[in-house]
Amino acid sequence: MSQREPVLIAKDLRKWFPLSKGFFHSLLGEETRFVRAVDDISFEIYRGEILGLAGESGSGKTTVGELLVGLNRPTKGQIRFNGRNIAELLGSELRAFRRHSQVIFQDPYESLNPGYTVYRTVMEPLNNFGIGRREERVERISEALERTGMKPPEEYLYRFPHQLSGGQRQRIAIARAIVVGPELVVADEPVSMLDVSVRAGILNLLKRLNQQMGLTILYITHDLSTLSYICNRTAIMYLGKIVEMGGTTGLVRNPLHPYTKALVAAVPRVAPNGAKPRVEIIGQIASPIDLPVGCRFRPRCPRAREICEEREPPLLPVGEERRVACHLYSLN
Amino acid sequence: MVLLEVKDVRVYYKTRKGIRQAVDGVSFTVEQGESLGLAGESGCGKTTIAKAIIRLLAPNSYISSGDILYKGHSLTGLTESMVREIRWKEISMIPQSAMNAMDPVYRVGAQIIEAIRRHEPIRKEEGIRRAYDLFEMVGLPPERLQDYPHQLSGGMRQRSAIAMALALKPSLVIADEPTTALDVITQHQILEKINELRREFGTSMIFITHDISVIANTCDKIAIMYAGKIMEYGSLEKVMRRPFHPYTIGLENAFLSIDRVADNLISIPGSPPDLINPPKGCLFRYRCPFGEPLCLENPDLIEVEERHFSACHFPNRVEEFREKGIREEVWQIE
């Protein structure tokens, strides 16, 4: 990445979901409890990069994606997209913004309307945003289909989702996302429902769109093995917080945070009998409702110390490219 | 000693559109204490063959030919009540979703005790003790025996499904994608536990998964399935290190590993054929870049080296396959 211009900056981004406490408890004046899905995180996405966002289920990674495309409103904090805070947008302004930030979902069997042809599916966003006249729209649709490898486009225009394979459906979902010319695409587990033999094709496609069109992508996944392949940088989330962030290759080869270490070590390796790093952490991810005091990873951490019970470690730079939220590094 | 022998089994489904040949002439063996991995894409028949072994096939499907021998006795001809004797006690299953294995309205402990007592005339106290031991063995706090299935996390449910599968100390355990729905750390813990228990009890296993890396960490032998047939079969080392079949070669090049920083990941174009009236000949030929006229004839699974079989007409071209198979443009056939 030569020019490092952020297309998006999230600052102290928070999304807490209130738990319904029931009528009786509210009469008693009990405090509302919250699921702290995203808990004051800050990061940036540079123009033209693929940023990976990885973590276990319940880590808050999907919620971050929803906030960035305006599918959910943050409780607090800012999302500066090309300098404008989209967290404040409402109504028509918010709708207009969505043209710049599109999303691809996990399951192409669920995300496409089964009653729509490919043509209608990819046309829909052009209608929504009032882009182009008829001829221009047809042209844009063909171009989007070609870019996603659905060649020749005429062959697919009048097909329905059930006439397409899983990989082809995901390509249509990608075509629908890029047809409006967004600057940022949030891809939430785009390959995890697909078979191994077609996964590579979708990842290659995302990579190509990134390299050829300069499309910026936030790639959300729980599958760490795909990170090294397509992400320039990666952020690891744990219980609503980013615990480590940096260049993907460095992060995977030399993870610093004890959680990242465990996560990387736990990925099954293909090479049989190869040397395997040990996974040291114990137990399960905690509930994001009643978080432990201090570092939220402490109950599972093999290297927890006294300070970890007292203070939550901030995400601080360690070296050139890396940020880590762990007292092991912030004290030295 | 051969524990399980699957001999040329065909399993067909009756559908509205016709007969679907889900499993078409599959043979393999599982030795005492051995672990076999069945790998393949969705719809390749890997789960169907497992269900045929444990006789849990859907009502519209049937074993049309072939035989399944367990400790030398045929399982295919058994009546339902005889099968029930064998199921769980001799052969058990860990399903993909443990929620499906359990009844949501009974406590987990009660279900395990019930399963044991259905096969062994033991007293309730003895059953409780056994369930307690089982939970400790799979790394669950025994007080969770009091929980209902929905009170357990995904990883805990999967562990309790393992406890249930091991309750009667079966000789063979079939695990159908036992960790697919789980996060990596939980997956790692479960696989370690399965390996540990296997070493301890010498249980044989069949591991069904689309994830080759899971098989690489748990199995001695691997069978690669495609469109209802075995394409390649042999010891884990040989198949992974020296693949002979173009499909296996393609799969390995399509497979991502966290250590892999390769910049060309290859996808296999196209999709598997429709198994209702499948075409004659090699079923992979539509996606294979190395096809020849001979591929219109059905290839047999032939021994290409010791303990290593491949269903391709051209074992002599394997060097070429391996060399060209890593090039992306080779796979770009229309």
Of B183, B216, B250, the CB nearest to A270: B216
Q: Report the sign of the C-alpha dihedral through residues B296, B301, B304, B309, in that order.
A: positive
* pLDDT reading at A64 higher than 50: yes
Query: What is the pTM (predicted TM-score) of this model?
Result: 0.87
Q: Report the sign of the C-alpha dihedral through residues B213, B218, B223, B228, in that order.
A: negative
* pLDDT reading at B277 higher than 90: no
pLDDT value for A274: 52
Going by C-beta distance under 8 Å and a sequence separation of 6 or more, which residues neighbour residue B283? B226, B227, B228, B229, B272, B273
Of B185, B186, B267, the CB nearest to A204: B267
Q: What is the mean pLDDT of residues B105-128?
A: 92
**DSSP characters for B13-69?**
EEETTEEEEEEEEEEEEEETT-EEEEE--TTSSHHHHHHHHHT---TTEEEEEEEEE
Q: pLDDT tens digits, residue range A13-29? A: 999 998 876 777 777 77
pLDDT value for B194: 87
Does any CB of chain A come closer than 8 Å to the CB of residue B240? yes
Q: Check: CB of residue B275 under 8 Å from CB of residue B226.
A: no
- B225 belongs to a structural domain: no
- A310 belongs to a structural domain: no
**Which residue has better confidence, A13 or A200?**
A13
Does any CB of chain A come closer than 8 Å to the CB of residue B259? yes
ipTM computed for the complex: 0.80
Domain that holds residue A179: 6-238
Locate B6 and state its tokens: 């699957």
**Which residue has better confidence, B80 or A331?**
B80
Q: pLDDT tens digits, residue range B235-253? A: 999 999 899 999 999 988 8
pLDDT value for A2: 47
Q: What is the distance in angstroms between the Cα of A86 and the nearest Cα belonging to chain B?
A: 32
Question: Three-class SS string for chain A?
Answer: CCCCCEEEEEEEEEEEEECCCCHHHHHCCCCCCEEEEEEEEEEEEECCCEEEEECCCCCCHHHHHHHHCCCCCCCEEEEEECCEEHHHCCHHHHHHHHHHEEEECCCCCCCCCCCCCHHHHHHHHHHHHCCCCHHHHHHHHHHHHHHCCCCCHHHCCCCCHHHCCHHHHHHHHHHHHHCCCCCEEEEECCCCCCCHHHHHHHHHHHHHHHHHHCCEEEEEECCHHHHHHHCCEEEEEECCEEEEEEEHHHHHHCCCCHHHHHHHHHCCCCCCCCCCCCCCCCCCCCCCCCCCCCCCCHHHCCCCCHHHHHCCCCCEEECCCEEECCHHHHCC
Interface test with B, best of A61, A151, A165, A196 (most B CBs within 10 A): A196
Domain that holds residue B147: 2-219
Q: Check: CB of residue A66 under 8 Å from CB of residue A72.
A: yes
Q: pLDDT tens digits, residue range A229-245? A: 899 999 999 999 999 99
* pLDDT reading at B288 higher than 50: yes
- B227 belongs to a structural domain: no
Q: What is the mean pLDDT of residues B278-300?
A: 93
pLDDT value for A1: 46
* pLDDT reading at A107 higher than 90: no
- B156 belongs to a structural domain: yes
- A191 belongs to a structural domain: yes
Q: pLDDT tens digits, residue range A257-285? A: 999 999 998 888 776 555 566 777 766 67
B chain contacts of residue A195, beta-carbon cutoff 8 Å: 41-42, 210
pLDDT value for A293: 87
For residues B300 and B178, membership in a common domain is answered with no
For residues B100 and B247, membership in a common domain is answered with no
Q: pLDDT tens digits, residue range A118-164? A: 999 999 999 999 998 999 999 999 999 999 999 899 999 999 999 99
- A131 belongs to a structural domain: yes
Q: Phi/psi class of residue A48: alpha, beta or left (left: φ > 0; alpha: ψ in -120 to 50)?
A: left
For residues B32 and B174, membership in a common domain is answered with yes
Chain B, 126-165: which have a CB under 8 Å from a chain A CB? 153-156
Number of domains in chain A: 1
Q: What is the mean pLDDT of residues A63-90?
A: 92
Number of domains in chain B: 2
CATH number reported for the structural domain that contains residue A103 in this entry: 3.40.50.300
For residues B123 and B272, membership in a common domain is answered with no
Mean pLDDT, rounded, of chain B: 90
CATH number reported for the structural domain that contains residue B88 in this entry: 3.40.50.300
pLDDT value for B209: 92
Mean pLDDT, rounded, of chain A: 90
For residues B210 and B250, membership in a common domain is answered with no
Of B185, B236, B256, the CB nearest to A272: B236
pLDDT value for A194: 87
- A321 belongs to a structural domain: no
- A179 belongs to a structural domain: yes
Domain-ending residue, one of B219, B252, B285 = B219
B260: confidence class by pLDDT, cuts 50, 70, 90: low
Interface test with A, best of B185, B255, B268 (most A CBs within 10 A): B185
Q: pLDDT tens digits, residue range B190-233? A: 888 889 888 888 999 999 998 888 898 899 999 999 999 999 99
Domain-ending residue, one of B187, B219, B251 = B219
For residues B173 and B256, membership in a common domain is answered with no
A291: confidence class by pLDDT, cuts 50, 70, 90: confident
Q: pLDDT tens digits, residue range B135-162? A: 988 888 898 999 999 888 888 888 898 8
